[in-house]
């Protein structure tokens, strides 16, 4: 039986959509950005090289933490938990699972993905091509409910990124130093934390499941803070996507010797 706009009882308009504006532009733009990021991250994760600049202690967030014996010397801040990985396995497997899980189940990316990649629907008043609607009650989409757990993982990775950021104040030959790479790493850190703290799950964790705030003044304070960030979550999601790529690309380029780091101090 026909479903959606073709379901019995619905007015048979005979048009794909009555919208005459450029409704396809926003999903197209976001779709191109998402696909670019997916391809870029996949290539970089399987590259297994050019993720660490030993002279300045720059570690790309895509490889943090690097915890296998295969990681280049100096890049394993947390030590090595595993032996050598075969070439085809990403050294940053744990990072990939947690961060891909966090972004992949994010409410903003869900909206973006449904509109831009799955056309479900692509825009308001535009029928979707899918015949049936199952919501997020079945596998694999039911796994999107794991978002709150990925949030805890992302928090730990965020703390680790701060540690990496502090390490990046490393001068050539030791001592204190600041380069363009240090600034890029810290700009990315700020964007990543804005994205993480503005998360809907974070807002629920700090302020949810309470009958009233009067007995929980600290949680009310946290909730008020997160609530101010939360409406800009989509902006932070896209901005941090770009800053992650920029940081990774810069570190890759310096590590590969394509250009040198611009140094301000030492």
Query: For residues 238 and 184, what is the distance between their CA atoms, to the nearest angstrom?
Result: 16
Nearer to ligand FES, 67 or 206 (CB): 206
Nearer to ligand FES, 77 or 200 (CB): 200
Nearer to ligand FES, 177 or 207 (CB): 207
CB of 99 to ligand FES, least distance (A): 11
Nearer to ligand FES, 51 or 151 (CB): 151
Nearest of 109, 73, 65, 116 to residue 91 by alpha carbon: 65
CB of 239 to ligand FES, least distance (A): 13
CB of 149 to ligand FES, least distance (A): 11
Query: For residues 251 and 63, what is the distance between their CA atoms, to the nearest angstrom?
Result: 11
Bridge-based pairing of strands 263-265 and 178-179 is antiparallel
Nearer to ligand FES, 108 or 157 (CB): 108
Nearest of 61, 151, 170 to residue 104 by alpha carbon: 151
Nearer to ligand FES, 169 or 195 (CB): 195
The tokens for 16 are 């794909």
Residues whose CB falls within 8 Å of the CB of residue 66, separated by 6 or more in sequence, listed in order: 51, 52, 59, 72, 75, 76, 77, 91, 92
Residues forming contacts to ligand FES in the complex (CB under 6 A) are 106-108, 147, 151, 199-201, 233
CB of 108 to ligand FES, least distance (A): 5
Nearer to ligand FES, 46 or 107 (CB): 107
- Our measurement of the distance from residue 165's CA atom to the centroid of its chain's CA atoms, rounded to an integer in Å, reads 18
The H or E element that residue 156 is part of is helix 147-167
Query: For residues 122 and 21, what is the distance between their CA atoms, to the nearest angstrom?
Result: 13
CB of 200 to ligand FES, least distance (A): 4
CB of 154 to ligand FES, least distance (A): 7
Q: Is the peptide bond before 121 cis (omega within 30 degrees of 0)?
A: yes
CB of 111 to ligand FES, least distance (A): 10
Query: For residues 30 and 6, what is the distance between their CA atoms, to the nearest angstrom?
Result: 28
The neighbour count for residue 106, using CB atoms within 10 Å, is 24
The string over 71-82, giving b where at least 16 C-beta atoms fall within 10 Å of a residue's C-beta and e elsewhere, is: bbeebbbeeeee
């Amino acid at each position: 039986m026909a479903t959606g706009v073709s379901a019995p009882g619905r007015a048979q308009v005979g048009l794909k959509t009555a919208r005459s504006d450029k409704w396809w532009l926003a999903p197209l733009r976001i779709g191109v950005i998402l696909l670019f990021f997916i391809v870029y991250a996949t290539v970089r994760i399987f590259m297994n090289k050019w993720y660490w600049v030993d002279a300045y202690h720059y570690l790309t967030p895509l490889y943090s933490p690097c915890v296998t014996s295969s990681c280049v010397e100096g890049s394993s801040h947390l030590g090595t938990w595993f032996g050598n990985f075969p070439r085809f396995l990403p050294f940053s497997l744990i990072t990939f699972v947690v961060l891909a899980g966090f972004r992949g189940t994010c409410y903003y990316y869900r909206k973006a993905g449904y509109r831009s990649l799955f056309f479900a629907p692509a825009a308001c008043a535009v029928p979707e091509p899918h015949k049936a609607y199952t919501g997020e009650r079945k596998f694999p989409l039911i796994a999107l409910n794991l978002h709150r757990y990925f949030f805890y993982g992302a928090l730990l990775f965020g703390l680790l990124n701060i540690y990496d950021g502090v390490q990046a104040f490393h001068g050539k030959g030791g001592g204190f130093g600041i380069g363009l790479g240090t600034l890029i790493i810290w700009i990315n850190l700020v964007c990543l934390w804005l994205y993480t703290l503005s998360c809907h799950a974070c807002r629920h964790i700090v302020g949810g499941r309470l009958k009233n705030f009067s007995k929980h003044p600290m949680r009310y304070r946290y909730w008020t803070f997160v609530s101010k960030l939360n409406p800009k979550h989509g902006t932070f999601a896209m901005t941090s996507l770009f800053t992650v790529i920029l940081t990774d690309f810069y570190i890759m380029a310096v590590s590969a010797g394509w250009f040198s780091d611009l140094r301000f101090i030492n």
